[in-house]
Amino acid sequence: MNITIRQACKEDCVRLLELINELAVYEKAPEEVTVTLEEFEKAGFGENPVWKAFVAEQDGLIQGFGLYYTRYSTWKGCRLYLEDLLVTEEMRGKGIGKLLFDALVAEAVNMGYNGMTWQVLDWNEPAINFYKKYNAHLDPGWLNVALSKEQTHLLYGDGGL
């Protein structure tokens, strides 16, 4: 199997969004993907890019990706934050996830970061078992908290609060 791991480029965004939608279906939340191609491209390759990604490519087709950005922890300093790691369903179990994850770990080291962090759904046993192979610490003590675009606009959209 000939897999190439490389940094994503703007031309990859259409395929990356396809895979993001595949991930959302797997995570039982397909309706949650609301980012447009234009927003996604601008966020990754615009004037002030906020994300980067590694892609796993086989014969010109992206079969997986790891999207990340810098997270700053007041306790730990700069850390690589892994937003999403996905290998297409038909390519799972072939070592592609390991290749991507190893590239992400190497990136954290090369950037001089103080480690990396990410989230995993508590029911996603295959992912949890994968991360356990790296002796990753799973922290059950934190809850995810978020405000949607609509909520932020309701709170502050008209200069409110």
In this prediction, residue 160 carries a pLDDT of 56
Task: Write the CA distances from 3 to 59, 63, 112, integer angstroms.
Answer: 8, 9, 27
Residue 72 annotated in active site: no
Task: Spell out the per-residue pLDDT of the chain, length 161, in tens.
Answer: 799 999 999 999 999 999 999 999 999 999 999 999 999 999 999 999 999 999 999 999 999 999 999 999 999 999 999 999 999 999 999 999 999 999 999 999 999 999 999 999 999 999 999 999 999 999 988 888 988 888 888 988 766 55
Distance CA 76, CA 87 (A): 29
Among candidate residues 69, 72, 81, 131, the one labeled active-site is 131
In this prediction, residue 144 carries a pLDDT of 85
Going along the chain from its start, the domains and CATH numbers come out as 3-156 (3.40.630.30)
In this prediction, residue 158 carries a pLDDT of 63
In this prediction, residue 159 carries a pLDDT of 62
